Amino acid sequence: MTSGNEELLNLLQKSGDDEAGLDLKILSEEYKDEALTKAVMRRAEGEPLAYILGYRHFYKECYKVCPGVLIPRGDTETVVESALKFLGLNDMATGDLLNIPSREKDYSEIRFADLCTGTGCIGISFANEIVRAGVKASGVLVDVSDTAIDVASSNVASQALKPEDIRIIKHDVLSGAPDIGQLDLILSNPPYITDKEMDELDGVVKDHEPDLALRAGEKGLDFYGPILDIARSLLKEGGALIVEHGFDQGDPVRDIFERGGLKNCMTVRDYGSNPRVTIGFK
């Protein structure tokens, strides 16, 4: 590799972030000369590194990403960790996760849905851990975006341990419950950015990641009521609804869940100690 290309690689490394999982050896093999220069220019113009590389690490998997789908974040792993704790499959739980009651391990199959699935990272990583525990995971990944449906389908094929047990459907959660049967869990990282916050977001996010996956009205809460309605319709007795939200939205999301009839609602902090995930039980 020329010294010029080595300099470009260094520039691209400095322009990224540690969470993106940049591997310079892989990058040096995949990008040559003009392509590498274009990659650095895209990053210099503010495009997220994950879109340039085409992947993002999440939990134990590596997910395909592209413009038009939300880039997975580490905070969202708290949704997966919370769901596994509920099933009694998270022996490494710490912090607020320890407050989540564990369901008895008397099941042979777990049926779940991942609403607003995007890349499919929540549902696929969750299903994989269930499979590793020797239990069947029957999942449905739901999104309204055609791009998300395509990307999630690709990720199921490449990352799911049992892709035949994961179904993907196009559905708008704001329009009511999809016809997918009764479920043990519903997981979701819905849009939760307020209109005001959208105007103030860093350009790396606002100018590149999809508005459809971010914006959720004046208070950022537009999706939680409809998702609660879906949970009331589809969850089995004793089932759990587990959602991600903004660091300052734990109180209002718990209020929505409690007023909607869910029991023992609680909010879990992420590993940055920010309230990130709220859980309610039917």
Task: Evaluate whether 71 touches 50 at the Cβ level (below 8 Å).
Answer: yes
Question: Is pLDDT of 94 > 50?
Answer: yes
How far apart (Å, rounded) are the C-alpha atoms in residues 63 and 159? 7
CA 85 to chain centre: 17
185-236 pLDDT, tens per residue?
999 999 999 989 888 888 778 777 888 898 889 999 999 999 999 999 999 9
pTM for this model (two decimals): 0.88
Query: Please, what is the average pLDDT of the chain?
Result: 89
Q: What CATH architecture does domain 74-281 belong to?
A: 3-Layer(aba) Sandwich (3.40)
At residue 17, the pLDDT reads 47
At residue 209, the pLDDT reads 82
58-89 pLDDT, tens per residue?
999 999 999 999 999 999 999 999 999 999 99
CA 253 to chain centre: 18
How far apart (Å, rounded) are the C-alpha atoms in residues 257 and 263? 8
113-132 pLDDT, tens per residue?
999 999 999 999 999 999 99
Domain boundaries, the chain: 3-53, 74-281
The residues, any chain, with a CB within 8 Å of residue 33's CB and separated by 6 or more, are 5
Q: Report the DSSP beta bridge partners of residue 140.
A: 113, 167
35 confidence band (pLDDT: 50, 70, 90) = confident
Q: Assign 3-state DSSP to the chain and report helix, strand, coil percentages, each to 5.
A: 45, 20, 35
